[in-house]
Amino acid sequence: MSQLVVVAALTAAPGSEEALREVLTSLVAPTRLEEGCLRYDLHVDPLKPATLVFLETWASREAHQAHCRAPHFLDARARQEGLVASRDVKLLEQI
């Protein structure tokens, strides 16, 4: 079973930058407590502050799938409605 690396970039809709940042920041602490979470960091692009990027490492694909079903993740996903202009999520395995 190999680790899964996730790179998730979200760009806020115009005028929603701070609201999206608050929603995404609220995910960090509870997610870091999840079984199988090895890394869960939120970053901002200093040249494009509307773009926020999660760098995640999970012990397995199954651990990441469980994260996507976690109540705090589902709640945050619902609160993102109307705040996100674009979302690009890459699921990567090391070679």
Distance CA 61, CA 22 (A): 27
Other C-beta atoms closer than 10 Å to the C-beta of 83 total 19
From residue 51, give the alpha-carbon distance in Å to each of 33, 48, 77. Answer: 25, 6, 16
SS3 55: strand
Please report, for the domain that includes residue 54, its CATH number: 3.30.70.100
Domain range holding 16?
Answer: 4-92
15-43 tens-digit pLDDT:
999 999 999 999 999 999 999 999 999 99
Total structural domains within the chain: 1
Residue 13, class by beta-carbon neighbours within 10 Å (0-12 exposed, 13-18 middle, 19+ buried)? middle
Contact yes or no for 85/13 (Cβ under 8 A): yes
List, for residues 73-94, the tens digit of each pLDDT value.
999 999 999 999 999 999 999 8
